[in-house]
Amino acid sequence: MVDVKAKLQEVFQLQKMHQHVIKITCAEERIEKLQKLKVEILAQAPAIIEALQQDLGKPAFEVASSEMLSVISEIDYYAENLKQWMEPVEVPSRNEGAQAKIISEPKGQCLIYSAWNYPFMLLFLPLIPAIGAGNVCILKPSEMAPATSSLSVKIINKVFDESEVAVFEGGVDVATALLELPFNHIFFTGSTHVGREIMQAAGKHLASVTLELGGKCPVIIDEQVDLEKIVPRIASGKYTNAGQVCLAPDHVYVKENQLEEFVRLVGEYIQRSYFENGELTKTDLSKIVNERNLQRLEGLLEDAISKGANVRYGGEIEDRRFYPTVLTDVSLDAKIMQEEIFGPILPVLTYTDLEDVINQINARPKPLGLYIFSEDQSVVNSLLSQTSSGGATVNDVLRHMLEPNLPFGGVNESGIGRYTGIFGFKEFSHERGVLYQTPVGSNPLETFAHAPYKGKLEMLMQRMK
């Protein structure tokens, strides 16, 4: 039987020696590797779809549109821009005659943990900037999506030598063993609870971290908007992947006079999207990942009902599929309003004063996303200026993550660090400041700072006025 810790140590040392070779690769060499990865992903497309259907019952369209397209698009974006990003950036120097430049260099040895809800995308998406920035990497896929994990190993081994990129499957024992190694940077996607453990472990080696976590992403609807136009955007964002999305709308705030129309429109969306002749269309709704998470959602629903919530749609469970659900009259003391739902249950709350909504948002940890639906710029500005979140989308949900020119990530309990586009390249790079001083003797002020100092203090104080 293979000694996992010994193998980890072996590969870690192999990559430690090889990182300096990878560091000096040019943009064309790194792009070539990413393009090779793209070719292999496309070749394995049917197998990727099958693996994700096996692990999560995920609809084939969702696999292609969210898991695969995100990765392919990011590779294409790097192919277009990486050479420019790698160029040293000259900045103004306040040292007379000198030049100042910022040079991006790889952080070195990186560790990437992926999550189970998007087990393919969340493994490969951070790998792209890691490779683009010139790092060596060890990947740890989620053991809760075994078919996708196994296929990911096959793809990685086909494209990369283990001296550059290696994959280790396994459970908590492997994840913990990896944290004992002195990586330069750790990238983790998952829960806030585990994120804290990752950060503590990284502190032992003074490794930098990127933590992609989550939180209770609220939706705030201004009463002037057209509900018929916006409800499909909200409902689609909520029920995609059965709500198992870190950026999914967690709960919605509507004005009292909008409540019934909003609930009706969400119900109509659920019926036409997930049902046919009164029967759930299982091919269009992902499963809850396992029984433990299914029981957690059942517990949240039961607790909410016990505290006065009304189930307006859904609530049933079939073949580990939790029907898209809408709740009203939800108590703020209910567990479902205290923790991230991460499932297809949508609490709909009412408000009369926007300040009350702002206060409720600010009373919770800062969310990963904030969603505002309003045509009134003063309302938008008020919500953005008086709250904080990792990112925000106005008049839609989730979309800010798909914009490569925007940084994506959380803040405080919803995460640390940024990625996608150039922000991912920067996240996996060390920006090294380099000053090119003038030749010795060419600067008449050079010896001013040298001892002896007699008579110089007065001159120095005069310069500071």
Q: What is the DSSP string of 44-72?
A: THHHHHHHHHHHH---HHHIIIIIIHHHH
Residue 195's closest CA among 135, 297, 113, 138? Answer: 113
| Residue 444: predicted pLDDT | 64
Q: Report d(CA 111, CA 232) in Å as an integer.
A: 38
Asked if 253 and 351 count as a contact pair (C-beta separation under 8 A), the reply is: yes
Q: Report d(CA 125, CA 41) in Å as an integer.
A: 12
Q: What is the CA radius of gyration of the chain?
A: 26
Q: Does 3.40.309.10 match the CATH number of domain 218-409? A: yes
Q: Report d(CA 431, CA 103) in Å as an integer.
A: 6
Residue 374's closest CA among 246, 230, 270? Answer: 230
Residue 224's Cβ-count burial label (10 Å; 0-12, 13-18, 19+) is exposed
217, 246, 413, 427: which is the annotated catalytic residue?
246
Asked if 140 and 123 count as a contact pair (C-beta separation under 8 A), the reply is: no
**What are 455's two structure tokens?**
């008579």
Question: Rounded to whole angstroms, what are the CA distances from 422 to 20, 79, 198?
Answer: 22, 12, 24
Q: Is the dihedral of CA 241, 246, 248, 253 positive or negative?
A: positive
Catalytic residue list contains 110: no
- What angle separates helix 45-56 from helix 27-43, to the nearest 10 degrees? 70
Q: Which residues pair with 345 in a beta bridge?
A: 325
Longest Cα separation, the chain: 95
Per DSSP, 138 falls in state E
Neighbour count for residue 442 (Cβ, 10 Å): 10
62, 212, 413, 427: which is the annotated catalytic residue?
212
Q: What fold characterizes domain 4-213+415-432?
A: Aldehyde Dehydrogenase; Chain A, domain 1 (3.40.605)
Q: Report d(CA 263, CA 328) in Å as an integer.
A: 9
Domain boundaries, the chain: 4-213+415-432, 218-409
| Residue 443: predicted pLDDT | 67
How does pLDDT run along the chain (465 residues), one tens digit per residue? 468 899 999 999 999 999 999 999 999 999 999 999 999 999 999 999 999 999 999 999 999 999 999 999 999 999 999 999 999 999 999 887 889 999 999 999 999 999 999 999 999 999 999 999 999 999 999 999 999 999 999 999 999 999 999 999 999 999 999 999 999 999 999 999 999 999 999 999 999 999 999 999 999 999 999 999 999 999 999 999 999 999 999 999 999 999 999 999 999 999 999 999 989 999 999 999 999 999 999 999 999 999 999 999 999 999 999 999 999 999 999 999 999 999 999 999 999 999 999 999 999 999 999 999 999 999 999 999 999 999 999 999 999 999 999 999 999 999 999 999 999 999 999 999 999 987 766 666 677 888 898 988 988 898 888
Helix (H, G, I), strand (E, B) or coil at 149: helix
**Phi, psi (rounded to 5 degrees) for 373:** -115, 105
| Residue 465: predicted pLDDT | 84
Asked if 86 and 96 count as a contact pair (C-beta separation under 8 A), the reply is: no
